[in-house]
Structure 1
């Protein structure tokens, strides 16, 4: 019966959408009706409203939220979605201020003389508008009104012209900032959590170990990472469009002729180009650059974009109306430049104002921010008063945002109902049953998304399909794809939904503004080539995931919040980098270790001598241990060639057997609850018993297909694999043992200078004990103790200070006894200074040279963050998808 109501849910949704019923009501309506009918049928025919639900049911949702149906209310409250109205406001404001028209006219004059120049200008303007407005309808309409007549007037092929305009208008769906990417990031966040649980459960079932290694975990994603991941694929798509236009113009010059524009390309024209192109490009740099630099989140960047769009609209709407047109924009630019200068010279933090310079920095930053606020309010007042632009833009933003959020809530209800009727399990079993593994599953999902694009908008596809299929695809350890790559691939695919007939929205927008002489069939013909180019871009990005993963990884590793070198996710690639360094510079590294081992350290305390010697001994072992890793890794690769086919075969049989276990558990519940006092009839209980026997026989048949030599071959491969894991763990422990002592000795010797300054402070403090109030003396002592503690290796020196502190805290403090304890600290300090100063002069430069030779190899894990050149090297490794399936 669950299957019947699942089919009813899909039929109701399809019928509602096909009849033209609003999507915002079709999705939740189908869910509510099917759930109501299933609950009613269960109540009347089985005496239980939950009887016909595969997972939970209304009775359980009210108390436990089994399918998270109660969480639907909070669907629109996630932080990620705050950026949507901000970017919508930014796009509509720029469109209403006629920035798009200026770009089209200027670019047409700039590229007109080139073969296919008008088409190229449309593509480039589409890319620029995508990175600023991101609104497909506005972009297509603007370019259709301005460029289509010009292209037809200059004898461009009608299908080529219409296809170029429609395709260029959809670039806003993949080039950030994009509403599609924000929604996908929001949906993928939940998918990553589910996929992580699936992979953890799979690891436990196949290996018997309760805890999966951290480097096998699935990394989550955010809208900012998706923005970064989509930049290069978006530029790739633009490049393919331009190449197609150039090639078409060269092969068939009559269909895309060069156009000689009126007027000279003089200084006035160049100034117009500057005024037209620089502000949108600056806004793109501010929005995307702030995200890439880690300065702003996506929400904060959206606010920057909204304010920037309003400032641009402030001068564009007033253009040609006298002096002062650019005054608010100039004021904003000066304020930003001033703020940049202040931040470059001062540490502006209100919570850390300690010096007069800090006060000056805060005051100057406040002045700059105030000027920026004045410029923003000034521009806002202009947009409000001129053509009532601000009010209309805010109304359109509110309408568009409400539409998106209502669809999100409705889709969440539909997805919950789909899961409740067991639809997610059916999809999972279908995909996992496909021959060909992950790539067959992925191809099927992409094909379904592509076909759905013929009939549905991107929002419906993103919020209905992605939550169901994303966990299945992300959990697969054979491909081990990143959520960023999956999101960008889906985004590229969803972009085609705007172009594919019969319901491509870009086609409708263009049809609405195209002259009557342009036939609809010509528009359809025109987009075919561009749909093919999008599919080609999908294939390229699919085969080269580095195109997507490179920028997010590079930004992550070079940001202020970069993960430390000991992060488990970095170890595999980091050890590959160190192995290459050892192969190239191993001799010089070992020479540096040997030279440091021969240094005279006899004047150091015995414990430091011992630690330093142990650290250098461990460092000498690092190179041969890395060679062990390389050897065991090669052994695993060689063994995997024969083992992999058997592993895939057996794990598939075990997966199918486990799937039957789930059905067996459900049937056993039916048997337990059947009978005169149960919620199920005796007949249904007997039928369940019979089905249990069938499933057990089917399960036994599946498991009997496992080859007899499976366990022996599995154990043999596991032994080889375990050798690699042990080699890696031993190397990591050894380099940690090598790095810690050297780091400690360097820190101790570096403390010689600050420790020398402490002697005078301690002598002054003795006088203070005898002359000052006890309360003030204790305050000074706490400061002195903290400063001494900050210097490495001062435990002996602190003993006297600690004893003096105890004496001064007694009811009857003995000043002379406290002074005596301070004298002990001073004596310990002088004894320390003798060897510290000698070490700082003789040994510390040698240790610095040792650190320079080994710091980015043996000492890499001891650093607080990766050096820039190491991070840049690791990016390419991390950007590939590593198959980890043989560990499961």
Structure 2
């Protein structure tokens, strides 16, 4: 009893147990337990703990420690499966998830990226940093047509890194360019991360797609400007080849013909959404069909390819769905302990200025990106932050047409922040995708040094979007004004 009274003078039992819940989850992750298993395991442990140890003594310790928020009932737990499957598996917004994954994987099989690489290399290869510019431009186009980070980084690494090494490029700048270019797909629509954010925050997926377009392009432009300036300052890091092909109309024509098919696919998907002809879910189906037709047109389609792409889509979508279910169970138990209120009071009570509160949340997300994957951060943190953001008064223009404009702005800010999670060790997945296809002599040390300037550019892009919220709300207002 004395121990309980001492704890009660410092913090409520709710606050203590919420901290223990998160701490246990982090420990399990560091022990190598799969994310979904860790989420379900922690949720079950603390649900049973509350049922056995806390609920029977609630009345005895009511005056010492706040138990009112902790309420357990087996009947509530019994209704959880139907609620999870009703809100997740049958959610029409999430139907877009496997469709966009299929589109990206099929587009990689179509050979479109290889054609762009060959033609753009002829166009820009004679310039200092020409290969880096080629990789960046292809990365932007792939980002707007695939959105699958692993496939983009691997594909760019296989196609571009050997050529860069043969041209005596600096290993850090070569690997950093490839890794950063491949991660643009998580931000530039169509993006599977934005699909999940739309579900978790209960906001329009179309608003998120349109809102992320300018920030994604700004980030790509920052990369290009950096490469140009770096090539001027340190030309030995990105030398021009000794022999160059004369650039004429045939080369320009080849570039146009190679870029046109993916641009038409982008127009089909994003243009149909922008024009109001299709919902994002319907556009995802059009994108999957368009990518398949491109594979047929280039002679890359076969039943074997279709089977492999479908199997990979099933594996990726199933992995995400499993974490979805586990994270929702975890969030359900966390709410029993008052975790949502504890987090809300803790974050909102640190600063009075609402913009400092948003900046603090983004800082926490940035730090979590060193330890967790973007999926766990999106599924666990975003729902907890939603009430905080909705309760703030922020000068985010909605132009009279956007619902929850400041939530859309916040979601894009988090999306830009989470892009750094692919590049920051120890769990930056883009780093390991790239290392898996690197030629001998390229080490993780080279990759780590190479991504530093691009992480700084991502933070600069985050600052620009933070300072100018209209970058995320103007385009949705135009797209859906009518």
Normalization by structure 2: what TM-score? 0.90
Show the 5 A alignment for 1:497-646: 497-557=421-481, 562=482
* Residue number in structure 2 paired with 1:635: none
* Residue number in structure 1 paired with 2:230: 248
Cα 1:153–1:56 shift into 2, 3 Å: same
For residues 60 and 441 of structure 1, the distance between their equivalents in structure 2, rounded to whole angstroms, comes to: 38
Contact persistence 1:39–1:52 (CA under 8 A): no
The 10-residue stretch of structure 1 (272-281 or 232-241) with the greater mean CA deviation from structure 2: 272-281
Shift of 1:145: 1.4
Show the 5 A alignment for 1:841-860: none
Structure number with greater CO (CA < 8 Å, separation at least 6) is: 2
Shift of 1:313: 0.5
For residues 336 and 281 of structure 2, the distance between their equivalents in structure 1, rounded to whole angstroms, comes to: 33
Shift of 1:479: 4.4
Cα 1:505–1:261 shift into 2, 3 Å: farther
Shift of 1:7: 2.9
* Residue number in structure 2 paired with 1:20: 32
| Residue 383 (structure 1) aligned to one of 270, 277, 302 | 302
3-state DSSP of counterpart to 1:482: helix
Say whether 1:489 aligns with 2:408.
no
CA deviation profile, 1:159-212 (whole Å, cap 9, x unmatched): 1111100000000010000001111111111xxxxxxxxxxxxxxxxxxxxxxx
Show the 5 A alignment for 1:27-66: 27-42=39-54, 45=57, 54-59=69-74, 61=76
Contact persistence 2:125–2:244 (CA under 8 A): no
For residues 85 and 119 of structure 2, the distance between their equivalents in structure 1, rounded to whole angstroms, comes to: 47
CA deviation profile, 1:281-310 (whole Å, cap 9, x unmatched): 000011000000011000111011000000
3-state DSSP of counterpart to 1:465: helix
Shift of 1:6: 2.1
The alignment yields a C-alpha RMSD, in angstroms, of: 2.2
Say whether 1:107 aligns with 2:82.
no
| Residue 404 (structure 1) aligned to one of 320, 345, 354 | 320
| Residue 276 (structure 1) aligned to one of 258, 263, 280 | 258
3-state DSSP of counterpart to 1:229: helix
Contact persistence 1:53–1:420 (CA under 8 A): no
Say whether 1:449 aligns with 2:343.
no
Show the 5 A alignment for 1:180-259: 180-189=193-202, 221-259=203-241
CA deviation profile, 1:6-53 (whole Å, cap 9, x unmatched): 2332122112211222112221221111111121113565599x9956
3-state DSSP of counterpart to 2:48: helix
Contact persistence 2:126–2:244 (CA under 8 A): no
Shift of 1:451: 0.5
For residues 374 and 98 of structure 2, the distance between their equivalents in structure 1, rounded to whole angstroms, comes to: 17
Q: Over alpha carbons, which structure has the higher Rg? A: 1
Shift of 1:315: 2.0
* Residue number in structure 2 paired with 1:425: 341
Cα 1:275–1:258 shift into 2, 3 Å: same
| Residue 108 (structure 2) aligned to one of 95, 98, 102 | 95
Contact persistence 1:173–1:180 (CA under 8 A): yes
Cα 1:260–1:138 shift into 2, 3 Å: farther
For residues 522 and 493 of structure 1, the distance between their equivalents in structure 2, rounded to whole angstroms, comes to: 23
Contact persistence 1:5–1:38 (CA under 8 A): no
Contact persistence 1:90–1:309 (CA under 8 A): yes
* Residue number in structure 1 paired with 2:384: 468
3-state DSSP of counterpart to 2:366: helix
3-state DSSP of counterpart to 2:345: helix
CA deviation profile, 1:587-624 (whole Å, cap 9, x unmatched): xxxxxxxxxxxxxxxxxxxxxxxxxxxxxxxxxxxxxx
Contact persistence 1:225–1:552 (CA under 8 A): yes
Shift of 1:263: 4.8
For residues 464 and 55 of structure 2, the distance between their equivalents in structure 1, rounded to whole angstroms, comes to: 53
Normalization by structure 1: what TM-score? 0.50
Shift of 1:516: 2.8
3-state DSSP of counterpart to 2:128: coil
3-state DSSP of counterpart to 1:254: helix
3-state DSSP of counterpart to 2:268: helix
* Residue number in structure 1 paired with 2:133: 120
Say whether 1:294 aligns with 2:309.
no
| Structure 1 residue ranges without an equivalent (≥5) | 190-220, 319-381, 563-888
Shift of 1:88: 0.3
* Residue number in structure 1 paired with 2:289: 307
Say whether 1:169 aligns with 2:88.
no
Contact persistence 2:101–2:313 (CA under 8 A): yes
Cα 1:488–1:287 shift into 2, 3 Å: same
Contact persistence 1:53–1:421 (CA under 8 A): no
Contact persistence 2:186–2:419 (CA under 8 A): yes
Cα 1:70–1:310 shift into 2, 3 Å: closer
Count of matched residue positions in the alignment of Structure 1 and Structure 2: 457
3-state DSSP of counterpart to 1:156: coil
Contact persistence 1:237–1:537 (CA under 8 A): yes
Cα 1:555–1:43 shift into 2, 3 Å: closer
CA deviation profile, 1:730-783 (whole Å, cap 9, x unmatched): xxxxxxxxxxxxxxxxxxxxxxxxxxxxxxxxxxxxxxxxxxxxxxxxxxxxxx
CA deviation profile, 1:367-388 (whole Å, cap 9, x unmatched): xxxxxxxxxxxxxxx532xxx1
For residues 260 and 181 of structure 1, the distance between their equivalents in structure 2, rounded to whole angstroms, comes to: 44
For residues 248 and 226 of structure 2, the distance between their equivalents in structure 1, rounded to whole angstroms, comes to: 30
